[in-house]
């Protein structure tokens, strides 16, 4: 029996991941919810949609924290795995960045573009559908690259981080906020990023550090966000018990699966099986592109 070529297997995996996140008519649903809340569609603010367009633990709050890690003013920024584009719009609006987002989901990218138009930030944000392990950008293109809750869906971590380092300028920064495996126990599903284990590729933070160090990036800081994530979930659960699901929350993206996915993630954060970490790496001297090519990484 012949094995399918690697490119075929990856394309199939990408389609499965896109299907996992797919919710048809996402932008239209968000607009409908805004109307139900009495929001004037000619005066929509970023805060009106931040409950849905920041698809990661602690939402817009943690994005603002991450943005304060380095000087982002007027930087060119790439958000790898941008989702609905909330962080890109924040960076464009608050820091006058030219922000680019890339995501595997056609529906997320379509929605991201429309939401930027809705809040009048379409000139400072660009959204592209694409593969994080095959970034469609020239070498040394961005001052800052960041990613939040994305690598768990990517099996080839080395390719993922080598692509990030390839398009990052010398002197630029890589910012991350991610979910990592901590203990040895196997993780049960569903989780927000995967309904089943075949879509999930968890690894440990020190493994990421090893990849980035090999690529020539230097760690500037690392922050344990686990307890803050647990407190966020505890407050969210209490709020949902009292008031029901929010009109503009992660339930917009995950629907009826929201509660079991979030409660499962919370359980593993509490047990120590998973952890939330954020941090900063600096590309001090620039990546040796020839070395990456020799190693088959680009």
Angle at the Cα of 250 from the Cα atoms of 247 and 255, rounded to 5 degrees = 80
Long-range contacts of range 294-297, CB-CB < 8 Å, 24 or more positions apart?
A: 297/158, 297/159, 297/162
Q: What is the mean pLDDT of residues 149-160?
A: 97
Q: What is the mean pLDDT of residues 258-282?
A: 95
**128 pLDDT higher than 60:** yes
Q: The tokens of 106 are what?
A: 């056609």
Identify the CA nearest to 109 among candidates 92, 122, 123, 126.
Answer: 126
Q: The tokens of 56 are what?
A: 């990661």
pLDDT of res. 287: 53
DSSP-derived pairing of the beta strands 218-224 and 142-148: unpaired
**295 pLDDT higher than 70:** no
**105 pLDDT higher than 80:** yes
Mind listing the pLDDT tens digit for each residue in 57-67? 999 999 999 99
Q: 23-62 burial by CB neighbour count: b if 16+ within 10 A, else e? A: eeebbebbbebbeeeebeeeebebebbbbbbbbbbbbbeb
Q: Is 223 helix (H, G, I), strand (E, B) or coil?
A: strand
Task: Report CA-CA distances (Å) from 76 to 47, 105, 108, 172, 280.
Answer: 23, 22, 21, 10, 16
Lowest mean pLDDT among 35-44, 45-54, 246-255: 246-255
pLDDT of res. 1: 47
Provide, rounded to the nearest whole percent, the portion of the chain with pLDDT above 70: 92
**233 pLDDT higher than 70:** yes
DSSP 63-130: HHHHHTTS--TT-EEEEET-TT-HHHHHHHHHH--EEEEEES-HHHHHHHHHHHHHTT-TTTEEEEE-
**246 pLDDT higher than 90:** no
**218 pLDDT higher than 80:** yes
pLDDT of res. 5: 53
List Cβ neighbours of 188 (8 Å cut-off, separation of 6 or more): 264
Q: What is the mean pLDDT of residues 92-100?
A: 98
**237 pLDDT higher than 90:** no
| 6-178+200-224+278-294 CATH | 3.40.50.150
**108 pLDDT higher than 70:** yes
Angle at the Cα of 81 from the Cα atoms of 79 and 84, rounded to 5 degrees = 90
pLDDT of res. 78: 98
pLDDT of res. 98: 97
Query: Do the Cβ atoms of 104 and 14 come closer than 8 Å?
Result: yes
Write down the domain spans for the chain.
6-178+200-224+278-294
Helix (H) or strand (E) holding 295: none
pLDDT of res. 6: 57
**197 pLDDT higher than 70:** yes
Q: What is the mean pLDDT of residues 104-125?
A: 97
Q: Cβ–Cβ contacts within 10 Å for residue 166, how many?
A: 20
**227 pLDDT higher than 80:** yes
Q: What is the mean pLDDT of residues 262-289?
A: 90
Structure-model confidence comparison of residues 275 and 258, the more confident one:
275
pLDDT level of residue 291 (50, 70, 90 thresholds): low
Structure-model confidence comparison of residues 290 and 50, the more confident one:
50
What mean pLDDT is reported for the chain? 92
Q: What is the mean pLDDT of residues 220-243?
A: 93
Structure-model confidence comparison of residues 295 and 104, the more confident one:
104
**What number of helices (H) and strands (E) belong to the chain?**
12, 7
Q: What is the mean pLDDT of residues 277-296?
A: 72
Query: Do the Cβ atoms of 261 and 254 come closer than 8 Å?
Result: yes
Q: What is the mean pLDDT of residues 227-243?
A: 91
Beta strands in the chain (DSSP E): 76-80, 98-103, 125-129, 142-148, 168-181, 218-224, 274-282
Q: Please tell me the distance from the alpha carbon of residue 3 to that of residue 210, in angstroms, as a whole number.
A: 31
């Amino acid at each position: 029996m012949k094995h399918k070529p690697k490119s075929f297997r990856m394309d199939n995996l990408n389609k499965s991941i896109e299907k996992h996140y797919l919710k048809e008519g996402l932008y239209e649903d968000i607009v409908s919810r805004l109307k139900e809340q009495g929001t004037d569609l000619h005066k929509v603010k970023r805060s009106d949609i931040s409950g849905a367009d920041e698809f990661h633990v602690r939402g817009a709050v943690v994005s603002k924290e991450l943005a304060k890690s380095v000087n982002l003013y007027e930087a060119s920024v790439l958000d790898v795995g941008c989702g609905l584009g909330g962080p890109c719009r924040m960076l464009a609006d608050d820091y006058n960045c030219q922000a680019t987002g890339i995501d595997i989901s056609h529906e997320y990218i379509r929605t991201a573009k429309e939401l930027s138009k809705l809040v009048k930030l379409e000139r400072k944000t660009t959204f592209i559908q694409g593969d994080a392990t095959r970034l469609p950008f020239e070498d040394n293109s961005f001052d800052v690259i960041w990613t939040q809750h994305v690598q768990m869906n990517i099996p080839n971590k080395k390719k993922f981080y080598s692509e990030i380092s390839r398009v990052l300028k010398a002197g630029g920064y890589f910012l991350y906020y991610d979910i990592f495996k901590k203990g040895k126990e196997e993780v049960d599903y569903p989780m927000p990023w995967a309904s089943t284990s075949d879509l999930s590729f968890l690894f440990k933070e020190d493994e990421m550090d090893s990849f980035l160090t090999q690529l020539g990036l230097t760690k500037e800081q690392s922050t344990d966000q686990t307890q803050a994530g647990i407190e966020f979930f505890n407050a969210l659960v209490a709020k949902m018990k009292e008031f029901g699901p929010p009109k503009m929350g992660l339930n917009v993206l995950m629907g009826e699966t929201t509660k079991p996915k979030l409660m499962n993630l919370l359980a593993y954060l509490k047990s120590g099986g998973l952890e939330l970490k954020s941090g900063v790496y600096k590309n001090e001297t620039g990546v040796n592109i020839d070395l990456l090519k020799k190693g088959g990484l680009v």
